[in-house]
Structure formats: structure tokens, C-alpha cells
Structure 1
Amino acid sequence: MSIPITLEFSGGAELLFDRQKRHDIDLPKQENPWRIQELLPWIRDNILKERPELFMQGNTVRPGILVLVNDTDWELMGELEYNLQPNDRIIFISTLHGG
């Protein structure tokens, strides 16, 4: 069974995703639970449209991108180790602004 989740991008992060702020996706079934650690490369490979270096650094999001899991800071949820649940809402907010 696939896992339906919602991804949202704002604060300028949506510009990397063809200006689309919301993505309702179904993650394919896999043997182990989906974690944010696996979600980030999936996002990069499947829906990111340009400049992956502005979204990811190494195996995590770049500094300056706030990540919320169901409106809670991901730091309180285990960050990369958080196991995704059906209907989770993951929000990426860029706090970096050019000047």
C-alpha cells in the first residue's frame, strides 16, 4: 500500500518546484517505513525542478529551510529519523532571502 502525504513549499522554496506550493503525493510501498531521510532524495529526484543545491545539502535540507511535520518543528519529531505516516503534511519554508 502506498503512503499518501502532502508536501508544501513556501517562503521562496516553491520557486524550485515550478512555483507549485502544494504537492499531494503517494509514496510507493517499500519494505521499511518511509522516513524523512528517504523522502528528501525522493523529492529531489521526482518533483524538484531546478537547483537542487538550494534545497538539499548532503543528505538533509540546506540550513535556512524550516521543516514542519503536521505543523510541528521536525526537530521535535526526530528530524531525518521521523517515520512518515499516512496523510502527514510536511512543510518546507525557506527563511533565506536574497538582498
Structure 2
Amino acid sequence: MNAKPLIVLAAFASIAAGAARADDIDPSQQFALQIQSTRTRAEVQAEAARVPTTRSTEPAGSRVHPVLQSNTQVSDVRAEAVQAVRLGQISRGEASM
């Protein structure tokens, strides 16, 4: 029951908006015909042909970093982490300082 007035209001608003924008563009100006270029078609095509050689097609941030080599064993790192938790140097689980 409450949706009917909203639908009528929305329909009226869209009709009013369409009527208000009906005469925004002046057809006598013909914007596309007013453009004058100082460059030739061949110059533009030559520039367009150079673009692929000067730009990267790789999206920004898509590179994967190489795997870093380390002499440290996983077991040594885990043992150090366990020792740090025992000494209270780092928090454990969801506990925070």
C-alpha cells in the first residue's frame, strides 16, 4: 500500500526531468564540424603506432616478487617464535598488548 505513492512520485519526477532536459542541445552548432586539427592523419597514425613500443601492457602491481633464498631453516624460525612467546616478547593468539 505504501509503494503506490512512491511509484507515482518517481514516474512524475522522471517525466518532469525528461521535459526539463529536452532542449539542452542546440542543433545549429554542430560541434563535430568545428574541430580543426594542425596535424595530418599520417602524423597521428605514426604516433599511434609508436605507443605499443613505449608503454607496458602489464597492469600496475601485477608483478610477482621472486622467491628470496635464505639459509635459515623453517624449524629454526618456529623455535625462535616459540621462545619469544615464552619470554613474553610477542603476544600469542588474539591477545594483544
Which TM-score applies when normalising by structure 1?
0.14
**Structure with larger RCO (C-alpha < 8 A, sep 6+):** 1
Greater share of strand residues, 1 or 2? 1
Higher Cα radius of gyration: 2
